Homo-oligomer: A and B are copies of this chain.
Amino acid sequence: MVKKTKSGFKKNTDSVSNAFSRSGMSMQEVESKLVDHGIQPSLQRIKLAQYLLGKADHPTAEQIYTWAQKELGKISLATVYNTLSTFIECGLIQEFKFPHLDQVIYDCRMDHHFHFVDTKSQRLHDVDSGSLRVQLKLPKKFLVEKFDIVFKGVIED
């Protein structure tokens, strides 16, 4: 269970506290963000959030795990999945499942948006929902509430 806490909550983050200073948010910024979302900022959660929010681009659990192992030396795969579930539950990230991939991808963008799959690099690019218009003619008894759309193609040059 993730619970809000009042007091400071100091952990032994010293050994890795500046590993990420060059990109994304600092440890302190990430920690604040976690607390804002009602998540207790353990070392593992801070590091994973730092990766997810600042450095990664639509990573899979496997990529997150691999990065975290390099960064923390030792972390359980179960912790990665537990933490991802917690982050999703608390609205810090969202997950996407795509027909072309048998792994879930995690996304720090929380707005409604879509994706373009570069079939050369297999990399995902965000597509703002404003850049898309969909017109659909169906019998009126079909009440569309949402849709998922994934574009596939290549990127020139």
Q: Inside 8 A of A150's CB, which chain B residues have their CB?
A: 147-149
Shortest CB–CB separation between residue A97 and chain B, in angstroms?
4
Cβ contact within 8 Å between B116 and A138? yes
* 14 A-B pairs with C-beta separation under 8 A: A116-B138, A116-B144, A119-B145, A127-B136, A131-B136, A132-B134, A133-B135, A133-B136, A134-B134, A141-B155, A145-B152, A146-B153, A147-B149, A148-B149
* CB < 8 Å neighbour of A151 from B99, B144, B157: B144
> What total of chain A residues lie within 8 Å of the partner, measured CB to CB?
35
* CB < 8 Å neighbour of A147 from B119, B152, B154, B157: B152
Instruction: Verify if A78 is at the interface (C-beta below 8 Å from B).
Output: no
Instruction: Verify if A74 is at the interface (C-beta below 8 Å from B).
Output: no
Interface string of A65-109 (1 = CB under 8 A from B): 000000000000000000000000000000011111000000000
**Also in contact, A132 and B135, with CB within 8 A (given A142-B155, A153-B143):** yes
Instruction: Verify if A140 is at the interface (C-beta below 8 Å from B).
Output: yes
Q: Inside 8 A of A147's CB, which chain B residues have their CB?
A: 149-152
Q: Inside 8 A of A96's CB, which chain B residues have their CB?
A: 99
A134 CA / B116 CA spacing, docked (Å):
14
Most buried by B among A131, A149, A154: A149
